[in-house]
Structure formats: C-alpha cells, structure tokens
Amino acid sequence: MSSKSEDDDDPVMRSSTERYDRVGVTFRWPQILASASSIFFGFLLNIAVNPPSYFAFFDNVILLAALYAVTVATAMFILPVIFHASHYRKLDVERFLLRNKQYVLIGIFCVMLAMYLGLGLAFSSKLLNLVAYSLPSLPFIFIFFEFFRHRHE
C-alpha cells in the first residue's frame, strides 16, 4: 500500500483524471435538464405572448408563475457550468459535486412546479379550478412516495 506522499510523486497518479471524470459526469444531468427546460420555457413563452381568448386574470398569473419557475430552473441547470468556470484553477471536486447537486435539485423542484402549474392551467379550461389544480398533483404525490420509499430501503 502506498502512502499519500508516494502517490504525489508518482507521475501516473498525478496525471490521473479520475477526479475530473467525476466532474464531467456531473455535467451531463444539468445539460439534459437545461435543454428540456429551455424547450418547456419556449412553449410557455409562446402561450404567454399569444394567450388564448378565454384566459382570465388568474390564468395569466398562473402562466407567468410557471414561466418564472421554468426560468429559475433553467438558470439552476446552467449554474454548475458558471461555478466550474469561475473556480476552475482551484477546483475542489467534492465541493463542486455538492454544489452541483444543490443546483440540480432546486432546478428539478422549479421544473416540477412549472409542470404542475402548466397542467393546472390546461385542466382549468375544461374543469372547475379546484379539480383542475388538484388533479395535476397526483403524479407528484406518486413521485414523492416513490422517492421516500426507495430512500428507506
């Protein structure tokens, strides 16, 4: 077993890219999520710019809240890239991985909020508001229970 100082002197260990591979892998999730949330943003923006004639004030407020949530989500998915670029020379991989996870979780929460509001908005054109904003919560309740069920295993 080699000591830490021997590893520092070993050219193979010094040139190891394992820690940077971990950083590269953590960029994949935010890339995919940023792309998807950007497309979702485009759909919501199109509806906000050209709202249907039956939209009431409440519908417009919900639409703007969904648009704002997906904007925050997209920004959260882009933040790991900004953090990496600003701390590249003195990159602490463990700190970066923790920050990346925080940004992605905030972004996922915001996308889920925007999806809930978007579904509620779509249902509100056909159903009563109470029912229209209750039905979209079912998929998220399922996700919540599945998350905690698997977390305790």
Q: What is the pLDDT of residues 12-41, one digit of tens each?
A: 444 555 555 666 666 677 777 888 888 888
Q: CB count, 10 Å around CB of 54?
A: 8
Residue 124: predicted pLDDT? 82
Could you tell me how many helices (H) and strands (E) the chain has, helices first? 8, 0
Residue 84 is which amino acid? H
**Tell me, what's the pLDDT at 28?**
73
pLDDT at 2: 47
The pLDDT value recorded for residue 14 is: 47
Question: What confidence tens digit (pLDDT) does each residue in 42-79 have?
Answer: 888 888 888 888 888 888 888 888 888 888 888 888 77
User: Domain range holding 60?
Assistant: 4-151
Which one is predicted more confidently, 3 or 136?
A: 136
Q: Comparing C-alpha atoms, which of 117, 138, 140, 120 is closest to residue 129?
A: 120
What is residue 6's predicted lDDT score, i.e. its pLDDT?
52
Span 79-135, pLDDT tens digits: 777 776 666 667 677 777 787 888 888 888 888 888 888 888 888 878 888 888 888
User: Into how many domains does the chain fold?
Assistant: 1
pLDDT of residue 109: 85
Collapse the DSSP code of 61 into the 3-class scheme (helix H, G, I; strand E, B; otherwise coil) and give the result: helix
State residue 38's pLDDT score: 83
Euclidean distance between CA atoms 59 and 38, whole angstroms: 22
Confidence (pLDDT) at 24: 67
Record the tokens describing residue 9, joined without a space: 């002197």
- DSSP symbol at 91: -
Angle between helix axes 28-49 and 18-26 (nearest 10 degrees) is 20
- Considering the entire predicted model, what is its pTM? 0.68
